[in-house]
Structure 1
Amino acid sequence: MQAVVRCLHCGRATQEVCVSSGSHAGAAVQFSESESIWTCPTEGEVKKAIMDVGGLVPGNVCDYSHNVSFYYEHVGKDISKNWSIRDFVIVGLGLPICLVMVLSNVMVVVAIWINQRFHFPIYYLLANMAAADLFAGLAYTNLMLNTGPWTSRLTKKQWFIRNALVDISLTASVANLLAVAVERHQTIFTVQLHNKMTNRRVVLLIVCIWVVAVVMGMVPSMGWNCQCQLDDCSIIAPLYSRRYLIFWVSANLLTFFFMVAVYARIFVYVRRKSRRMSSHTSFPVGQSETVVNLMKTISIVLGVFVVCWTPGLMTLLLDGIMGKDSNATAYEKYCLILAECNSLVNPIIYSYRDVEMRRTFKSILCCLCRWSGVHQGETSPTQVHTSQPESPQGDEVFEIDMEDKEAMSSQQLIKTRR
């Protein structure tokens, strides 16, 4: 502490650093052996000495001059200097998966938009969930293009944006699932097939979901990070504060538990009342089956979401609580791949569980194939010569193997949209 006393005779900036450093400065700052001959250290020298012994730059004095590599080295996380086989495998498999993820979720959004049977609040929220999965595909693509040896080239701003995109996609999905849970609870317990919520309220709810997601994703870049407290740095995300990770993961896990409780209550209620509702004149058997099937679909989506994201969240929670002792970097990549698969699986669930959604997907693909054929025909003289003018009954060109005639409504609607 004698060094701290000596600092009091130095400049004001150095005094503030020394006094707030406490024992760290006393142990780190070196002076001349003779008390009568010594020089005041500069503010930068004091901070460097503190950093050299693993101390903190204390108080409100933060050092923002370090690059991304510094924080990785501080927590002991390696950045690949050269491309390894593992890096090639991750990027080589990740990018095609991201492409399929984006295209499949675009199909879900388009299907809900063009099919009037899906123009209800619950399907608007499912479309928003598909939009969140689409956003996740773009976020993972950006992550793949800025990983491995490319990480060291990132500025801190670019690094925060890269991680914020993934955080935003997860928060949007969680918030959207929560909105679906509340909507289903209100609808089922008022014995309705679809909620009477107005389109304006649905749009407002969707906007609120994305505002919350963006704010939560930008919190670390706005100040809740470890640039001023190096011992609080995460080993998975080295610029993130471990306290922030604990908060963020805890909020998501609590939301998970709440949604599971809500869906369990709804499912038990529907199973118990299904016979009574089916015999009710205002709630036919068809609607009762529709409610049950829709609830099963949403429950599967929620279950897959929990299975895919819980390992990653628990890994982040261990990192936040234990830090380097958690050894979280050993399995973070596997958790990331599992989380990435969630956004790819949802469109498969929709097409498998919902017959109308599957028919709409087929209609979209049929129209794309027809459009591609017409486009090729414009460049092929033979096809132009053999092509026939469109007849008034041109709907027949849309015909594919359908399960029943109801599929034609989706095809005619697509043609009308075009």
Structure 2
Amino acid sequence: MATESSVFNTCNHTNDVLFFYNLVGKKVSSEWTTRDFVVIGLGLTVCVIVVLANLMVMAAIFMNRRFHFPIYYLLGNMAAADLFAGIAYANLMLNTGPWTRALTKKQWYIRGALIDISLTASVANLLAVAVERHQTIVTMQLHSNMTKRRVLLLIVCIWATAIVMGLVPSTFWNCECRLDDCSTVAPLYSRRFLIFWAVLNLLSFFVMLATYTHIFIYVRYQSRYASRHTSELRHGQTVVNLMKTISMVLGAFVICWTPGLVTLLLDGLLGKDSHANSYEKYCLVIAECNSLVNPIIYSLRDDEMRKTFRGILCCLCGRRGRRQKEPPAVEIDSPLPEVLSNTTICHILPFCFYSF
């Protein structure tokens, strides 16, 4: 027993990637299978859509001066994180299946680090947006009072945290020196790290849940007060709009992230008994879809954002000359969207930026 334990706890950095895959029983096919084509084809399709959608969001926020406020800077950074996620996942798709056999350990760690960085940054941005909106609503402000310097510092902290999380497995929290701790989903990663990463993201989800729940309770109270001065129809519509937005935000996060996080948690706790290899790639595709859903929820439901998108598309399609007499939405200098002046509730409720 002592001899076996010493073998499993001896560092041997000369082992290649296939050694760890064979150790945990994760098969690396030498020939292309139908499953490989389905996973890669579906994954690359999602990546292309993610990259294009988030590029459009970033361009719209940069070009339209109405979006030059802290909340939109955070949305733009979230779009950048989601765009990076699309690129990182495309890199994973192009280095999976039979291609895995040709990877060195350094290349394998880089592949995993890109995924960890991008997904962590995406979740961190979602959390930052939730906190920012909570602060804006509670302080009864139209926009956050954060300065550009504070927003920039927050963005830097988000990416610094994401980079650290991405580098942790390759630097010290792996299983090269403890082979009995190797994950079946990511054979060079420590199962304890997967448990930590999954629990950390689940805690982020509960923080967002608590934040949006408090927002709902607070706004419902405010809407009851405002209903004394406005019509009951407008009061009811405000609450319904809030419910829709909260349901979409939380529902998208739960649907996209829960399968992957549960898979990682089970793999960390049970190892081979979790049978995570049979479905982990599909869970990763679903998690990546969150980077596609984010611009839809936070941007495409904004009337002003849609107008900006149309202006950009018209320019790309060569129709700019037909609109010279009519300035496009991206050139309007008015600092506030027209939708903000509809009701008093909308002045304290950023969720009203969206049309339903």
Q: TM-score, normalised by structure 2?
A: 0.85
Q: Show the counterpart of 2:188.
A: 239
CA shift digits 1:2-29 (9 cap, x unpaired): xxxxxxxxxxxxxxxxxxxxx433xxxx
Shift of 1:363: 1.0
Q: Which of residues 38, 54, 61 in structure 2 aligns to 1:89?
A: 38
Q: How many residue pairs are counted as aligned between the two chains?
A: 330
- The alignment status of 1:56 with 2:34, answered yes or no, reads no
The amino acid that maps onto 2:305 is M
The answer as to whether partners of 2:183 and 2:271 remain within 8 angstroms in 1 is yes
Kept in 2: contact 1:193–1:291 (CA 8 A): no
Look up the match of 2:150.
Answer: 201
Aligned match of 1:345: 293
Contact in 1 for aligned 2:64/2:332 (Cα 8 Å): no
How far, CA to CA, are the matches of 1:205 and 1:57 in structure 2? 42
Which residue of structure 2 lines up, in the alignment, with residue 309 of structure 1?
Answer: 257
**CA separation in 1, counterparts of 2:43 and 2:145?**
41
Kindly state the Cα deviation for residue 132 of structure 1 after the two structures are TM-superposed. 1.0
1:193 is aligned with what amino acid?
L
The answer to whether the 8 A contact 2:185-2:276 is kept is yes
1:109 matched to 2:58: yes
Q: Does 1:333 pair with 2:281?
A: yes
Tell me, yes or no, if the aligned pair for 2:50 and 2:86 is still in contact at 8 Å.
yes
Quick one: distance in 1 between partners of 2:131 and 2:124?
11
Q: 1:410 aligns with which of 313, 330, 354?
A: 330
Structure number with larger C-alpha Rg: 1
Identity in percent: 65
The alpha carbon displacement at 1:161 in A equals 0.9
* Offset, 1:265: 0.9
Match of 1:395 in 2: 325
Partners of 1:211 and 1:123 lie apart in 2 by 20
Distance apart, 1:81 and its partner CA: 0.4
Q: Once the two structures are superposed, what CA deviation does each residue of 1:332-361 show, in whole Å capped at 9, x if it has no partner?
A: 122112112211222233454211111111
The answer to whether 1:125 aligns with 2:74 is: yes
**Residues 55 and 79 in structure 2, CA contact (< 8 A), matched pair in contact too:** yes
Give the conservation status (yes or no) of the 8 Å contact 1:56–1:231: no
Distance in 2, matches of 1:297 and 1:86, equals 36
Of 303, 308, 317, which residue of structure 2 is paired with 1:369? 317
Q: Which residue of 2 aligns with 1:147?
A: 96
Query: Residues 395 and 412 of structure 1 are in contact (CA less than 8 Å); yes or no, is this contact kept in structure 2?
Result: no
Give the match for residue 47 of structure 1: none
Task: Say which SS state the counterpart of residue 395 (structure 1) adopts.
Answer: coil
Larger mean Cα displacement after TM superposition, 178-187 or 203-212 = 178-187
CA shift, 1:229, in A, is: 0.8
Q: Which amino acid aligns with 1:183?
A: E
Contact 2:65 2:332 in 1 (8 A): no
My pick for the range that moved more, 297-306 or 238-247, is 297-306
SS in 1 for 2:325: helix
Conserved 8 A contact 2:24-2:183: yes
- For 2:15, what is the secondary structure of its paired residue? coil
Contact 1:297 1:350 in 2 (8 A): no
What's the offset of the Cα at 1:92? Answer: 2.3
CA distance in 1, matches of 2:279, 2:35: 14
Measured in 2, the distance between the counterparts of 1:278 and 1:116 equals 33
Q: Note the residue ranges of structure 2 that are not aligned, 5 or more in a row.
A: 334-356
- 2:71, 2:132 within 8 Å by CA — same for their partners in 1? yes
Deviation at 1:122, TM superposition (A): 1.2
CA change 1:275–1:292 in 2 (3 A) is: same
Matching residue of 1:183:
132
Q: Matches of 1:55 and 1:116 in 2, distance apart?
A: 63
Pairwise CA distance, 1:250: 0.8
From 13, 17, 24, give the equivalent of 2:2. 24
Q: 1:171 to 1:299 in 2, by over 3 A?
A: farther
Q: Which residue does the alignment assign to 1:229?
A: 178
1: CA distance, partners of 2:97 / 2:248: 34
Higher relative contact order (CA 8 A, sep 6+): 2
Structure-2 residue corresponding to 1:356: 304
Q: Measure how far apart 1:195 and its partner are.
A: 0.6
For residues 290 and 121 of structure 1, the distance between their equivalents in structure 2, rounded to whole angstroms, comes to 23
Distance 1:296 1:191, change over 3 A: farther
Deviations 1:251-271 (A, max 9, x none): 111111111011111112112
Counterpart CA distance in 1 for 2:246 and 2:145 is 19
Aligned residue number for residue 321 of structure 1: 269
Aligned-residue RMSD, C-alpha:
2.7
Measured in 2, the distance between the counterparts of 1:225 and 1:280 equals: 61
Structure 2 CA distance for aligned equivalents of residues 206 and 212 of structure 1: 10
Q: For residue 211 of structure 2, what is the amino acid of its counterpart?
A: V
1:367 partner letter: C
